[in-house]
Structure 1
Amino acid sequence: MENYLSKKIIALITDFGTRDAYAAVMKAVLLKANPALSIIDITHEVNPFNIESVSFLLYSSWDYFPQNTIFLSVVDPGVGSERNILLAEQKGKILIAPDNGSVTLLYNKKDNFRVWTPSLKALSLIPAPESSTFHGRDIFAPLAGLISLQGIETVAGEAASPVLLNTLKPVLDKKIHTIRGRIIHIDSFGNCISSISAEDFPETRKTGKSGNAGKTEGSEDTEITEKKGKDKKTAKLKTAVIKTESTEIKGIEEYFARVPEGKALSYFGSTGFLEIAVNMGNASEILKIKAGDGISVYY
């Protein structure tokens, strides 16, 4: 039986949809290159050209895939232009994507996330592109097949500094107790996911007087300080005000049923990002929120 850890997985994410043949053709090219591949569709329903959404979907999926996964991301409004192609690696997982900001969240939040451009030698090993508008088929899929057979070491060229989206970095203003971000993804339930993550929210840090220098991490005083800090942060979450261009919500809840059916709420979702939802409803439609809208948290 094949060693599980040696099995190569391709994780696909595109904005091709499933109505046309584009996604299927990419899969066919991958399997022609390496019939032993397993292919998993993350999604082909990214809103066309929405790079912020791609960055979120890649980041929120990354940790749940095993080593030897090759993420193949083709949301590429700059296809055919001089934009670079990126290869990246982190803890045994590989990403192939256009250099358009789609790696932003992974690059900013994951340790040891290394990035290269493909080597000229590697590019010479794949057939010349048949089209200037379908690099997913003609370049990205053949590169993924090559990496699955030979490893990233034989394909990676020079180290690269990727394009990063400043819009995905929340702005914290401690003087006026505000975090500003934007809506970066609307999921299939209509939940509105923001660029603000739980780790962006100000933590109440441990404090101590100079006379406490001898206290250890597990001491009673430290435990009391940590509990007070958590209580203060919980209080901040309960009294925070979340505003978008079309709505205002008070408090950050733990789960949907904390509010009555049909009522709007905010909460930190399963991916760790602040979201806006309507219990048993579609927040995007009801509250008229769309991707790209601004969002502010006042605490």
Structure 2
Amino acid sequence: MTKYIKYLGGLLLAVIINTTAAQNKIIVFQTDFGLKDGAVSAMKGVAIGVDSSLKLFDLTHEIPAYNIWEAAYRLQQTVSYWPAGTVFVSVVDPGVGTNRKSVVLKTKAGHFIVTPDNGTLTLIAASEGIEAIREIDEAVNRRKGSEQSYTFHGRDVYAYTAAKFAAGKITYEAIGKELPNEVVSIPYQKAILENKKIKGTIAILDVQYGNIWTNIDADIFNQLNVKIGDKLHVVIYQDKIKKYEGFMPYTETFGAVAKGKPLLYLNSLSQVSFALNMDSFSAKHKVYSGSEWRVEITRPE
């Protein structure tokens, strides 16, 4: 009997922990709307209208228009720093009103992403894993009076559903039907070491300074057995077109090279990056970011 009571107690505790993790009342918004008009404010207003005790934060609203890849990257860059149970609303949705699915992804780390399934989930699904996916039932989870609106799902469906869920007014199961654990993915070069050559993608730009950030992490890079000061051969492609080729030293600081000279370093996420000291690598060499931008790194013998 004692063991049975302990078993029931354990089940109850697990339910409480799971419910708490799914309903911490935090929502983080990401869009390509900018802040020039009232779109972001409208989304937050809808959320607060559901529950005024919700805590609302911004990831960014400066994703370039329609840039699904950058939306995917910013989620991967940011989500893991938030507590389990946080709900993210990501709206970069060039297909709004079409037959793309509106979903809520639960990651294996316990985060929730409310978004169109249009490639936005590519990187977070890979980094945190997929625990479950549910399609939003818009017949139930939609702001009242918005049935004739087809172009602002961020306000009428995503913010509203996220708020109801984050506030604990609906369960995860009540969001809609469960889908297979797979998402629409953008093809890209994963970071690999192959025949003494590292391959990867230019994931994003450090836009303020024009530095180039790749998806190659320190663990893979260190397999080249490179020491500070060693020169590396770097080739950058846009699809199959070579856009840059050159040699640069591996350094810990920008000031280790002369002004305007190239260097390779590990950025704040411990990923391989390229820069020009006190200049823009991107602007000078017309190198940008996205799934079509690839990089190859070798250590000269």
Structure 2 CA distance for aligned equivalents of residues 168 and 114 of structure 1: 24
Shift of 1:81: 1.0
Residues 76, 98 of structure 1: 8 Å contact kept = yes
Structure 1 CA distance for aligned equivalents of residues 86 and 251 of structure 2: 35
Identity of aligned residues (%): 28
Give 5+ residue unaligned stretches, structure 2: 1-19, 237-242
SS at 1:243 equivalent = strand
Residues 242, 251 of structure 1: 8 Å contact kept = no
Aligned partner of 1:243 among 235, 238, 242: 235
Structure 2 CA distance for aligned equivalents of residues 236 and 180 of structure 1: 20
Deviation digits for residues 191-247 of structure 1 (CA, Å, limit 9, x no counterpart) = 2222333344473xxxxxxxxxxxxxxxxxxxxxxxxxxxx6234993432222135
Letter in 1 for 2:32: D
Shift of 1:156: 4.8
Aligned partner of 2:216 among 173, 178, 196: 196
Cα distance change of structure 1 residues 198 and 104 upon mapping to structure 2, 3 Å threshold: farther
Letter in 1 for 2:140: S
Q: Normalising by structure 1, what TM-score?
A: 0.78
Alignment of 1:1-299 (within 5 A): 7-90=24-107, 91-111=109-129, 113-118=130-135, 120=137, 123-126=139-142, 127=144, 128-149=146-167, 150-160=170-180, 161-167=182-188, 169-170=190-191, 172=192, 174-175=194-195, 177-189=196-208, 190-201=210-221, 203=223, 233-235=225-227, 238-244=230-236, 245-292=243-290, 293-299=293-299
CA RMSD after TM alignment: 2.6
Q: Normalising by structure 2, what TM-score?
A: 0.78
Cα distance change of structure 1 residues 125 and 136 upon mapping to structure 2, 3 Å threshold: closer
Cα distance change of structure 1 residues 129 and 240 upon mapping to structure 2, 3 Å threshold: farther
What is the aligned partner in structure 1 of residue 9 from structure 2?
Answer: none
Structure 1 CA distance for aligned equivalents of residues 164 and 264 of structure 2: 44
Residues 233, 245 of structure 2: 8 Å contact kept = no
Cα distance change of structure 1 residues 99 and 123 upon mapping to structure 2, 3 Å threshold: same
Structure 2 CA distance for aligned equivalents of residues 237 and 52 of structure 1: 33
Structure 2 CA distance for aligned equivalents of residues 236 and 280 of structure 1: 20
Cα distance change of structure 1 residues 115 and 198 upon mapping to structure 2, 3 Å threshold: farther
What is the aligned partner in structure 2 of residue 209 from structure 1?
Answer: none
SS at 2:53 equivalent = coil
Cα distance change of structure 1 residues 35 and 166 upon mapping to structure 2, 3 Å threshold: same
Structure 1 residue runs of 4+, over 6 Å off?
none
SS at 2:151 equivalent = coil
Cα distance change of structure 1 residues 152 and 288 upon mapping to structure 2, 3 Å threshold: same
Residues 257, 263 of structure 2: 8 Å contact kept = yes
Letter in 1 for 2:159: A
Deviation digits for residues 231-275 of structure 1 (CA, Å, limit 9, x no counterpart) = x62349934322221352423333323323332222221123322
Shift of 1:289: 1.4
Cα distance change of structure 1 residues 168 and 138 upon mapping to structure 2, 3 Å threshold: farther
Letter in 2 for 1:166: P
Give 5+ residue unaligned stretches, structure 1: 204-231
